[in-house]
Structure 1
Amino acid sequence: MTVSPQRARPGSTELQALVDDLAETLGRSVVVDDPLVRMVCTSRHFGDEDPVRVGTLLQGRADSATVRYVLSLGVARWTRPGFVDGRPDLGLLPRYVVPLRARGHLLGLLMIVAPDQALAEHETAAVARAAEAMATQMYGEQLASDTRRSDERTMVLELLDTDLATRTAARRRALELGLIGEAGHVLVSTVQLCRGTEPGRQSDTALWAALEGLRRTRTAQGLVAVYQERAVLLQLRDRPPAPEEIEAQCARILEELRTFLDPSAVPVIGVGGRQQGLAHAWTSYEQSQVAARAARRLPSLEGVGDWERLGALAVLLQLPEHALNPSLVPEPLRMLDRAHGGDRLRDTLRCFLENAGSIPRTADALSLHRTSLYYRLRQIQEITGLDLDDGAHRLTLHLGLRIGELLTAAAPAHT
């Protein structure tokens, strides 16, 4: 199988030429990946291709299992060349890997297929010379890329600023530059990395990689800002996104991050409310912050908080972190917890309130005879001293239960 040299992602012709020259000198397949093991450019085959290489050429990137394996070996922290063992179960032959670094930054990974895990001295010398030239070339390209990303980050943060004048000026500038349109529905999502994440360039790169494909899609145009272990995705759409679209987008982002980052990293996503027009993007952004806080606190959300599904939690989660403590739990609920069978009665109360006080629906949900349900509800009223027919009393109990959910969940790593 003959495959022409190609670039899977934007890269210079100068870098491609360096890859081609090295491949011809060695008579081996050569590829340059970015720090997340995504192909930047590659040489032609020399009869040493494996399923991973062929699949990467066809798909534009290696499969997630292969990426996770290579990154798990710590190649992003290597300071000198070394061999990566093959994985027959993944269809991966051994590679000679050279970290491409400049001024302390990892710019990419030079990989050479080496089935026997051995290179002659003249080959390693040729690789070292080529790697130095590649790192120099990539460093210049990285500086330009960093400038573009920095400009975009500034634009996004100004569009979402709480100050009206700042937002207005940024919106006018974005429209003049053609970066984003005015019409349409706006949606802002916030992605945050929590617990165990090592701050630094690698995590920022992972965040950008997970979101960059969503900047321009068939149904949306957007901008991305990455900063301080978090990323913001601002999207404009011709119509409000359907719930299944949001779910699919969030699932894609989380899958990408779980591929690129160490398992100890815990990414969460907060999805803001759907707003009309770019002028209201800041509102969706503020809501996405609250939704991300919900995702951090509530494992039941599985890493994704959506403002429009939070209900009363959206209000409670706007309390300062220090104020969200056990003192907020109403005394009647504390009395219920201390009572005999308190857990069972609390579950009954929660089900009753979530079913709007409907006896038939609550009994069905609990698989309980109505007589037994009435008995439990009388117990709850006697213990708490509250009347379940009183709207204010029911609100007190329902909010108390919601606060309890937030307090019993794992404490957040970042506020």
Structure 2
Amino acid sequence: MHDGVEEQLAILADEIGAPLVLLDAEYSVVAFTPHSVDADPSRAGVILRGSPRESVRQGLDAAGVREARGPVQTPAVPGVPLRILLPLRVDDVLMGFVSWLDENDDAQVRRTEGSPRVHAIAQLLHARASADDRSDLVRRLIAGQVSVSELQDDGLAADVPSRAISVRADGTVPAVAEGLLPGALAAQVGGVLAFIVAEDLPLDALREHPGIAVGVGPALPLAEAAMSWRQAVLASRIASRGDTEHGSFVRWDDLGVERLLARIPLELVRHEDLPKSVRMLLADSRGLDLADTLLAFLDRGGDAAAVAASRGIARSTVYHRLERASAVSGVRLDDGSARLDLHAGLRIAQFAGLLD
């Protein structure tokens, strides 16, 4: 996710008049400014390696680079040009370094002292590190790998009711993450965005965001976030269908028999696995229309007027389709047992994508 580090580093490089490398607190490369001709072989080498050799790290530590409060020259190493390292700190905590080739140009150092870019880069590194820490905490919470004592050590109350939320966004998760629930605990887990939020946090941003499927777990103590997460993932399976009565925003607490359906390995369900009555219904030339109307009718407890309103059709059309569905499926809709086969079979077919 772009956080502005590269942009700020490029502006600082123009102010200083030198190509720059941004390092973290362990001297590993975070970013660098592109130049078509790079006369700094040590810069090119560190960029290609990514992380410094242990001997280089030890040499820098021994030279007191970590304790420096201003620009410091790297120790002399045969065959390696001298560099300037400018420590970046937030609340006296070392976040990293800006580094450039030492050309004995005092003006370059003076330009850094008054540049707001230095402070901005330090703050961005701090925000990035904090986000990484929060993401790791979320991943461990939903995996059930955080103890009550660890939560307390992090200043979190293990018994505070919290919800886990699973957001599916088809590969656009990084872009989606920037605008949803700012400040909440969040992490990307594969192709899913995981949130841990307080029980009373409004979720309107999730409900109203287009192109995503949201599953909301029950409110449980933070120490039990793994259970809330498992149920949020199941709810998001229902939400990902998008064409159910629940829509693309589904709370686990609102689900009935769908809780069981969500646990079925739907990717293994085939047409031949469906009840005979459902297979006969779908075999009709208008099977999909009949199935849609019948499922809506069964979902609404037999309220034909509600079905007509939801589908934008006349009530007489609803009755006609129901009669046709009864005839081709061989099921009387006043037969409770047969109606159950139809309802459950159609719902499973819907979740398995067999009604698309």
TM-score w.r.t. length of structure 2: 0.56
Once residues 302 and 376 of structure 1 are traced to their aligned partners in structure 2, the CA distance between those partners, rounded to angstroms, is 24
Q: Alignment partner for residue 221 of structure 2, among 277, 280, 291?
A: 277
Is residue 295 of structure 1 aligned with residue 262 of structure 2?
no
Partner SS, residue 269 of structure 1: strand
Once residues 355 and 305 of structure 2 are traced to their aligned partners in structure 1, the CA distance between those partners, rounded to angstroms, is 34
Once the two structures are superposed, residues 244-271 of structure 1 have per-residue CA deviations (whole angstroms, 9 ceiling, x without a partner) of x33x13157x48xxxxxxxxxx544322
Retained in 1: the 8 A contact 2:180–2:205?
A: no
Once residues 214 and 286 of structure 2 are traced to their aligned partners in structure 1, the CA distance between those partners, rounded to angstroms, is 37
Is residue 155 of structure 1 aligned with residue 99 of structure 2?
no
Counting matched residue pairs gives 264
Once residues 104 and 288 of structure 1 are traced to their aligned partners in structure 2, the CA distance between those partners, rounded to angstroms, is 35
Is residue 249 of structure 1 aligned with residue 208 of structure 2?
no
Q: Alignment partner for residue 210 of structure 1, among 172, 180, 183?
A: 180
In the alignment, which residue of structure 1 is the partner of 2:332? Answer: 387
Partner SS, residue 284 of structure 1: helix
Once residues 309 and 346 of structure 2 are traced to their aligned partners in structure 1, the CA distance between those partners, rounded to angstroms, is 21
Retained in 2: the 8 A contact 1:189–1:232?
A: yes
In the alignment, which residue of structure 2 is the partner of 1:187? Answer: 163
The one-letter amino acid of 2:187's match is: A
TM-fit CA distance, 1:332: 1.7
User: Is the alpha carbon distance of 1:382 and 1:173 closer, same or farther for their aligned partners in structure 2, counting shifts above 3 Å?
Assistant: same
Q: Alignment partner for residue 397 of structure 1, among 339, 342, 352?
A: 342
Once the two structures are superposed, residues 306-348 of structure 1 have per-residue CA deviations (whole angstroms, 9 ceiling, x without a partner) of 3334544443232235324434433322211222543443344
Once residues 293 and 212 of structure 2 are traced to their aligned partners in structure 1, the CA distance between those partners, rounded to angstroms, is 33
Once residues 106 and 313 of structure 1 are traced to their aligned partners in structure 2, the CA distance between those partners, rounded to angstroms, is 51
Residue ranges of structure 1 left out of the alignment (5+ in a row):
1-33, 41-74, 82-99, 108-125, 216-222, 256-265
Retained in 2: the 8 A contact 1:191–1:232?
A: yes
Instruction: Give the share of equivalent positions with the same residue, in percent.
Output: 23
Is residue 234 of structure 1 aligned with residue 196 of structure 2?
yes
Is residue 35 of structure 1 aligned with residue 2 of structure 2?
yes
Once residues 386 and 282 of structure 1 are traced to their aligned partners in structure 2, the CA distance between those partners, rounded to angstroms, is 43
Once residues 289 and 337 of structure 1 are traced to their aligned partners in structure 2, the CA distance between those partners, rounded to angstroms, is 30
Q: Alignment partner for residue 334 of structure 1, among 279, 283, 286?
A: 279
User: Is the alpha carbon distance of 1:156 and 1:363 closer, same or farther for their aligned partners in structure 2, counting shifts above 3 Å?
Assistant: closer
Retained in 2: the 8 A contact 1:326–1:407?
A: no
Once residues 142 and 223 of structure 2 are traced to their aligned partners in structure 1, the CA distance between those partners, rounded to angstroms, is 9
Retained in 1: the 8 A contact 2:165–2:196?
A: yes
Could you say which structure has the larger radius of gyration? 2
Once residues 316 and 355 of structure 1 are traced to their aligned partners in structure 2, the CA distance between those partners, rounded to angstroms, is 18
Once residues 410 and 330 of structure 1 are traced to their aligned partners in structure 2, the CA distance between those partners, rounded to angstroms, is 14
Written as runs of structure 1 = structure 2, the 5 A alignment for 1:356-395 is 356-358=301-303, 367-369=314-316, 373=319, 377-395=322-340
RMSD (Å), alpha carbons = 4.6
Residue ranges of structure 2 left out of the alignment (5+ in a row):
12-19, 23-28, 34-107
Partner SS, residue 395 of structure 1: helix
The one-letter amino acid of 2:314's match is: S
Retained in 1: the 8 A contact 2:163–2:228?
A: yes
Retained in 2: the 8 A contact 1:101–1:135?
A: no
The one-letter amino acid of 1:225's match is: A
In the alignment, which residue of structure 1 is the partner of 2:85? Answer: none
The one-letter amino acid of 1:249's match is: A
Once residues 142 and 2 of structure 2 are traced to their aligned partners in structure 1, the CA distance between those partners, rounded to angstroms, is 30
Once residues 282 and 101 of structure 1 are traced to their aligned partners in structure 2, the CA distance between those partners, rounded to angstroms, is 40
TM-fit CA distance, 1:353: 0.8
Once residues 106 and 268 of structure 1 are traced to their aligned partners in structure 2, the CA distance between those partners, rounded to angstroms, is 37
TM-score w.r.t. length of structure 1: 0.50
The one-letter amino acid of 2:237's match is: R
Once residues 147 and 80 of structure 1 are traced to their aligned partners in structure 2, the CA distance between those partners, rounded to angstroms, is 21
The one-letter amino acid of 2:165's match is: S
